């Protein structure tokens, strides 16, 4: 009897299960009809727009009477601008370009943003550009790779071995905690470890050997054109295609081998996700034919360039220079990158006469640029013919507000704050600004002001003198032949 009853029970269960798919379909049809008839989807929030993706389409709660908004007043009134007056520009700058605190070698040049016209120039010969060099590196990187390019850090597998492969992501971070409050968004080794662990677990693999591949870049990791003190004094790390947190260790100082440190961090992250790494990670080249099992991507290059210029990130600029060398000259080194950057700029029509580059950041004291080269780079970046380069201008620090100019221009013409956008350039004995400025009439100018023989005792005074030069242009009505200016020039 027990056996017969068990057989009947099994038949009933099979009958019920056979009807289950049909029952699900019927329920879905009934639910859809109810939604149409009674608006249940709206009542339950199923048909409402996603506030995270469509905030403008989210309606206010029932019964809330919202007052229609009005357009906010403009921060600064627009002005049409016009033709620059040489006499006006000269009059605006007359009291500042001869400031003795700037030392014995000062180059100042001012031109129209929209044309090749230079209306003011003083000084002779090329200057040490310092970090204004980053304008060249960022422009070349955007031109060759495109503003939407992303750098991929991958994991490849060959049997029981996995290889962490650096893709030259300058902002790759160790973890989400290390990226808090930072722009742009960062890819992390912890996210990569999570994806890797998922792929390995699906294979039934819980133990692996780990290698790391930083072979994307070539040549020395430390630039021979830099002072030997830079690395031991923690000015800059060795430059590599694989690092985390720009080569910084837990104590905030640069580590001796950023690639090995990144691999060790990755191994720890794998362990936290259930994958045991056997032995110590070793340097290697990913074998041909190895399969990619996980990857993370950087932010778009346009955002990386903006950040690099805004805070004058030497490390990121060097990585970008290596990428330009890799793409243009197939030589992803300091020398290859510097040569390739100038090649790209010449292709864009930039006058590189007298230019000598040894790096991508401007840390080398052997770098030389003429003001004309910097003016041309700014003009090209602002040209409607090259929208791909716009991040060079949007990344420029804003006087008194952002980046390396956030705490400057507090004792310059009030009109300068917000009207001057410029890349700073600073080394011992060198201070400079190169950027764009809009005067009170809406005239848009490009300008360069660099002094490279400043007495150390005059460092702050020289910096202030440069702020006054840029500020005088912002406070000028430089389309007026009488050179009328406005605002305090204390």
Catalytically annotated residues: 131, 134, 312
Q: Are 483 and 92 in contact (CB under 8 A)?
A: yes
Q: Are 380 and 116 in contact (CB under 8 A)?
A: no
Q: Are 433 and 425 in contact (CB under 8 A)?
A: yes
Q: Which of 265, 281, 267 is nearest to 212 (CA)?
A: 281
Q: Which of 222, 223, 390 is nearest to 309 (CA)?
A: 390
The DSSP bridge pattern shows strands 207-213 and 276-283 to be parallel
Collect all residues with Cβ–Cβ distance below 8 Å to 358 and sequence separation of at least 6: 223, 225, 334, 335, 338, 364, 366, 367
Classify residue 406 as exposed, middle or buried by CB count within 10 Å of its CB (0-12, 13-18, 19+): middle
Token match 């030392």: residue?
103
What are the structure tokens assigned to 478, written together?
A: 């430089």
State the Cα–Cα distance between residues 477 and 411, nearest whole angstrom.
Answer: 20
State the Cα–Cα distance between residues 187 and 178, nearest whole angstrom.
Answer: 11
Local structure of residue 157 (DSSP, 8 states): E
State the Cα–Cα distance between residues 425 and 216, nearest whole angstrom.
Answer: 29
Q: Which of 405, 425, 380, 386 is nearest to 474 (CA)?
A: 405
State the Cα–Cα distance between residues 11 and 4, nearest whole angstrom.
Answer: 11
Local structure of residue 323 (DSSP, 8 states): H
Bridge partners, 122 (sequence order) = 108
């Amino acid at each position: 009897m027990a056996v017969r009853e068990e057989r009947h029970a099994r038949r009933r269960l099979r009958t019920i299960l056979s009807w289950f798919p049909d029952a699900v379909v019927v329920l879905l049809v009934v639910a859809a009809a109810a939604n149409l008839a009674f608006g249940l989807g709206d009542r339950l929030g199923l048909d409402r727009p996603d506030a995270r993706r469509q905030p403008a389409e989210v309606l206010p709660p029932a019964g809330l009477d919202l007052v229609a908004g009005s357009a906010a007043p403009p921060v600064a009134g627009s002005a049409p601008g016009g033709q620059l007056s040489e006499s006006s520009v000269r009059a605006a700058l007359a009291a500042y370009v001869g400031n003795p605190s700037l030392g014995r070698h000062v180059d100042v040049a001012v031109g129209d943003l929209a044309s090749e016209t230079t209306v003011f120039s003083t000084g002779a010969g090329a200057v040490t550009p310092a970090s204004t060099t980053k304008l060249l590196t960022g422009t070349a990187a955007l031109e060759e790779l495109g503003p939407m390019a992303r750098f991929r850090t991958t994991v490849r597998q060959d049997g029981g071995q996995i290889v962490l492969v650096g893709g030259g992501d300058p902002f790759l971070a160790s973890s989400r905690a290390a990226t808090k409050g930072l722009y742009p968004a960062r890819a992390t080794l912890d996210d990569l470890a999570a994806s890797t662990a998922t792929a390995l677990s699906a294979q039934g693999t819980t133990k692996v050997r780990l290698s790391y591949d930083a072979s994307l870049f070539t040549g020395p990791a430390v630039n021979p054109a830099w002072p030997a003190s830079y690395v031991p004094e923690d000015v800059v790390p060795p430059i590599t295609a694989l690092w985390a947190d720009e080569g910084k260790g837990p104590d905030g100082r640069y580590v001796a081998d950023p690639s090995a440190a990144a691999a060790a961090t990755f191994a720890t992250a794998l362990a936290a996700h259930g994958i045991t790494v056997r032995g110590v990670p070793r340097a290697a080249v990913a074998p041909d034919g190895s399969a990619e099992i996980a990857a993370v991507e950087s932010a778009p290059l346009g955002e990386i360039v903006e950040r690099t210029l805004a805070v004058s990130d030497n490390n990121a600029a060097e990585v970008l220079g290596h990428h330009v060398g890799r793409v243009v000259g197939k030589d992803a080194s300091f020398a290859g990158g510097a040569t390739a950057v100038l090649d790209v700029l010449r292709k864009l029509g930039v006058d590189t006469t007298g230019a000598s580059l040894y790096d991508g950041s401007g840390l080398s004291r052997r770098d030389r640029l003429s003001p004309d080269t910097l003016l041309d780079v700014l003009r090209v970046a602002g040209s409607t013919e090259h929208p791909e380069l716009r991040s060079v201008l949007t990344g420029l620090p804003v006087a008194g507000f952002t980046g390396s100019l956030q705490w400057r221009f507090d004792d310059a013409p009030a009109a300068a704050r917000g009207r001057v956008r410029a890349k700073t350039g600073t080394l011992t004995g060198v201070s400079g600004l190169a950027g764009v400025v809009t005067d009170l009439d809406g005239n848009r100018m490009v300008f360069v002001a660099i002094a490279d023989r400043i007495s150390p005792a005059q460092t702050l005074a020289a910096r202030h003198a440069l702020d006054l030069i840029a500020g005088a242009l912002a406070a000028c009505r430089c389309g007026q032949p009488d050179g009328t200016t406005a605002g305090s020039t204390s």
